[in-house]
A and B are shown apart, each in its own frame.
Chain A
Amino acid sequence: MISKILIANRGEIAARIIRTCKEMGIQTVAIYSEADKDAPYVEMADEAYLIGPPQVKESYLNVDKIIETATESNVDAIHPGYGFFSENGKFAKECEKIGIRFIGPTSHVMDMMGNKIEARKAMKAANVPIVPGTEDAIPTAEEAVEIAKHIGYPIMLKASAGGGGIGMQVVNNDEELQKAFQSNAKRAEMFFGDGSMFLEKKIEQARHVEIQLLADRHGNVVHLFERECSIQRRNQKVLEEAPSPYISDETRLKMGQAAVDAAKSIGYTNAGTVEFLVDREENFYFLEMNTRIQVEHPVTEEITGIDIVKEQINIANGKELAWKQEDLSYNGHAIEARIYAEDPKTFFPSPGHIKEFDVPKGRNIRLETAVKSNYQVTPFYDPMISKLIVTGQTREDAISLLKETLEHTSIKGIKTNIPLLLEIINHEQFLSGNTTTTFIEEHFSPIKKK
């Protein structure tokens, strides 16, 4: 049984994981860089170790240092959170080598899903619908143009090893494709050490809907329904909700089943998410699988009453899932708003000193935060400083509580996206639930600096 966990992460997710560990009576070890020495999560952990300077390569992505800290602090498991090493098969292998459990799927499955071309092949084999496109990496721009004739524009050019929108571009004709191919392959090579590119048909007016999965080590897989995550900018989510206000019960059932089938066919274990694009006719296509806990997992927890981090630890302990699919249901509606340290108009980051951080408390208000009052937000990491999750009996209740909470939130000293969040949730299209992934781009494009 796991009795002590090192959290190989920082910020709000480290705090979130520590909280569940405390509830389960598990000891926690935090790691932190020089930039995070005053972070709230560091204080929460039973033990905390400085692992290096602010730059992620020398701290949160320093394999040797993290493994050394895990060994010296005598933990029996590592929780990777999201980002950093959470989808890194090599890191998981390093943990296994020294007898420390990695809380996540096997390194083999992680590597397969981390490679987008391999993932597409695996999904096709499992009869999960995939976006029409190429099966293999395309060696040259000329060949890409040739293949594009069969797919039809607009086309998404993607890096096989890509993530966070890097190496990805929409192209509308041969000329654009030719140009984008070289530059994106180069970028992908630089960022991920792998410049393989492939093509996918661009699904127009798409929504992003994803299915949360739990899979134990005994072959049982259940889904915890869907999350609607169409409100994005630069391929980063801003608002997420569960359930989706758009898809029908029939589509919900089909998507859940497809995700479960996908997980079973690749031998998936632990918590994971299958992301789909859904078109106007509610056809859905596999986008990618995230082999880790997601930023937006709390909305699922709020409507199902299931603590996903606790289940991750239970699964890592070899326990069987406590439910069959038919035992699971959801109640109410939850929305998560990601609070970013950024200018709401230009979308530029806004690091700096937070003088005051005050978010209203309430029964249906959940705050996951990386920061506090009198705290320095450094430029070294992601601009997301907090997540605000609200729950209501209906979507209308949740929206009105979110509005109320955001209006009474006071963050002084840095700029945040709260004005943008308020504009979005007051927008007629959001209120009707009729939003696609281009919603922010269409209505709230950043104002160009003069």
Chain B
Amino acid sequence: MNEVKAMMAGNVWKIVVAVGDTVEEDQDIVILESMKMEIPIAAEESGVVKEIKVQEGDFVNEGDIIAIIES
């Protein structure tokens, strides 16, 4: 199991995968908006998206868990 964490504080702008999707390493999971920039947050390992813990528009802090990938 692999946790995808926010590397900085920001708003969740877009969620680009869905629960059950198979994702590759480095594939974008969500796009955060921080300081007027779009920051893609990617999976560190390939696997299946088990859970997405945020919704579009949510505010996340650095280190918050965004999604869980099952490898």
Contacts and interface: CB of A to CB of B under 8 A. Distances in A.
A351 B37 contact: no
B18 to A, nearest CB: 21
Interface of B: 7-11, 34-37, 39, 42, 62
Contact of A382 (B7, B36, B62): B36
Given A381-B36, A383-B36, 12 more contacts: A341-B35, A348-B7, A348-B37, A349-B8, A349-B10, A349-B34, A351-B8, A352-B9, A352-B62, A379-B10, A380-B35, A383-B35
A449 B28 CA distance: 12
Contacts of B8: 348-351, 379
Nearest to B7: A348
Contact of B39 (A348, A378, A380): A348
A264 to B, nearest CB: 35
Interface string A143-172: 000000000000000000000100000000
Interface residues of A, number: 16
Interface in A335-356: 341-342, 348-352
B39 to A, nearest CB: 6
Q: Which 6 A-B pairs have the closest CB atoms?
A: A349-B35, A383-B35, A379-B34, A379-B9, A379-B10, A349-B34
Contacts of A349: 8, 10, 34-35, 37, 39
A432 B12 CA distance: 43
A349 B34 CA distance: 7
19 contacts: A164-B36, A342-B35, A348-B7, A348-B37, A349-B10, A349-B35, A349-B37, A349-B39, A351-B9, A351-B34, A351-B35, A352-B62, A379-B8, A379-B9, A379-B10, A379-B11, A379-B35, A380-B35, A449-B42
Interface string A309-352: 00000000000000000000000000000000110000011111
Contacts of A352: 9, 62
Contacts of B9: 351-352, 378-379
A351 B34 CA distance: 8
A349 B39 CA distance: 9
A383 B8 CA distance: 13
A379 B39 CA distance: 12
A341 B7 CA distance: 15
Contacts, number: 38
Nearest to A340: B35
A342 B9 CA distance: 13
Contacts of A380: 35
A414 B19 CA distance: 34
Contacts of A55: 11
Interface in A394-450: 449
Contacts of A381: 35-36
A164 B35 CA distance: 13
A349 B35 CA distance: 6
A59 to B, nearest CB: 14
A298 to B, nearest CB: 22
Contacts of A350: 8
Nearest to A348: B39
A99 to B, nearest CB: 33
A234 to B, nearest CB: 8
Contacts of A378: 9
A350 B37 CA distance: 11
Nearest to B61: A379
A400 B35 CA distance: 31
A35 B9 CA distance: 13
Contacts of B62: 352
Contacts of A351: 8-10, 34-35
Contacts of A164: 36
Contacts of B34: 349, 351, 379
Interface in A6-61: 55
A342 B7 CA distance: 13
A382 B34 CA distance: 9
A133 to B, nearest CB: 28
A301 B35 CA distance: 28
B11 to A, nearest CB: 8
Nearest to A385: B35
Contacts of B36: 164, 381-383
